[in-house]
Amino acid sequence: MRFYIGTYTKHEGNVSKGIYMADLCPETGEISLPQLVAELENPSFLALHPHRPLLYSVSELGQGADGPLGSVSAFDIDLESGHLALINTRRVNGSAPCHLVVDATGRHLLSASYGSGTVCTMPITQSGGLAAMTTHVQHDGSSVNPARQEAAHAHSINLDAANRFALVCDLGTDKTYVYRFDSESGTLTANSPDGISSAPGAGPRHLAYHPRGRFAYVINELDGTMNAYAYAPEEGRLTEIQALSTLPEGWEGEKSCADVHVDAAGRFLYGSNRGHDSIVIYEIDASTARLTLVGHESTRGKTPRNFAIDPTGEFLLAANQDSDSIVVFKRDPATGTLAATGSVCDVPAPICIQFVDR
């Protein structure tokens, strides 16, 4: 099972040169030696085209002399070797783009930029490249944490299963925004209601939809919490069901959540805790979507950012940014628990893992 790895190339002490590729053995959980397949600056988040052998990556760059340097790049995938060939690169008119997604039609790319608090959309051309932006939205506002919430910081953008609404988690404003998405024009317009607020100082970061399409979960970076929401796909409305900690009772160390995923069966929810360096595991009530804590599993490394469940659901791979490692866990589909397999691969500053479902 092939996967691509986004990294930080501009990170103190690391030697990453861009996007890497490796293979996971479905029988043993062993990972092949990662190969560099494309040189790119700070390709921290990756997305695959839903129908064609194409990969898209952000370049998470800040301000330059002529304005924000953040961009997204399009690559052709060689199906035999897995190597990537650059098609083109486009600026996003924002700083530190950190998340992106391709819509279900495969005709549009949407991205979120943390530094500038902006989101944008771009058409995908017949060649798989990116055309000029069709939408650029600036978030405004702040919240109670002066160090991290002095301005808007859009951290992720996710389309729902119907491809009708885009939900944007903004850490700086403590809000998950809802936009109507027009899949013909590729444009975003504010919805009514325009979103839902988290608790002051929570810092919403990433979002995962439940496969049934009626629930969504938001992990909050700054206060170490998880929000469970009912989601009405007909109108793009979120209603809070529950908020609970991602950390063990009594934890007094750093609170810094990162990523969140639901398993394909919709039975378990997983989130990553930096500082505590763990994956939190919850069981999902099938009728109410409420969460019950199952436990925590150490990621056997430092600063787990993104993690991924492989397409078979057998394994979970955790990307430990500050220990330059990806660690493989066997997943129990009945209990949701994780067990380290002993398989570890060395990758400089891994940030994102993107499986190719082939």
pTM, whole model, 2 decimals? 0.97
CB-based burial of residue 174 (10 Å sphere; 0-12 exposed, 13-18 middle, 19+ buried)?
Answer: buried
Residue 334, pLDDT above cutoff 70 = yes
Short-list 171, 295, 319, CA closest to 245: 295
pLDDT in tens, 51-80: 999 999 999 999 888 888 999 999 999 999
pLDDT at residue 44, as a whole number: 97
pLDDT in tens, 212-257: 999 999 999 999 999 999 999 999 999 999 999 999 999 999 999 9
Q: End-to-end alpha-carbon separation of the chain, Å?
A: 8
Per-residue pLDDT, averaged over 170-176, amounts to 98
Q: Which two tokens stand for residue 207?
A: 């979002």
Which range (8-12, 118-122, 273-277) has the least confidence? 8-12
pLDDT at residue 63, as a whole number: 85
pLDDT at residue 67, as a whole number: 85
Helices and strands in the chain, H and E counts: 0, 30
Per-residue pLDDT, averaged over 303-327, amounts to 97
pLDDT at residue 64, as a whole number: 85
pLDDT at residue 358, as a whole number: 57
Short-list 64, 63, 74, 80, CA closest to 102: 74
Residue 352, pLDDT above cutoff 90 = yes
Residue 14, pLDDT above cutoff 70 = no
Per-residue pLDDT, averaged over 126-148, amounts to 97
d(CA 318, CA 327) in angstroms, rounded, equals: 5
Residue 88, pLDDT above cutoff 60 = yes
Helix (H) or strand (E) holding 256: strand 256-262
- The residue ranges of every structural domain in the chain are 44-199
- The CATH architecture that domain 44-199 belongs to is 7 Propeller (2.130)
CA 229, 99, 234, 230: dihedral to nearest 10 degrees?
-10
CB-based burial of residue 67 (10 Å sphere; 0-12 exposed, 13-18 middle, 19+ buried)?
Answer: exposed
Residue 151, pLDDT above cutoff 70 = yes
* Percent residues over pLDDT 70 in the chain: 99
DSSP letter assigned to residue 285 = P
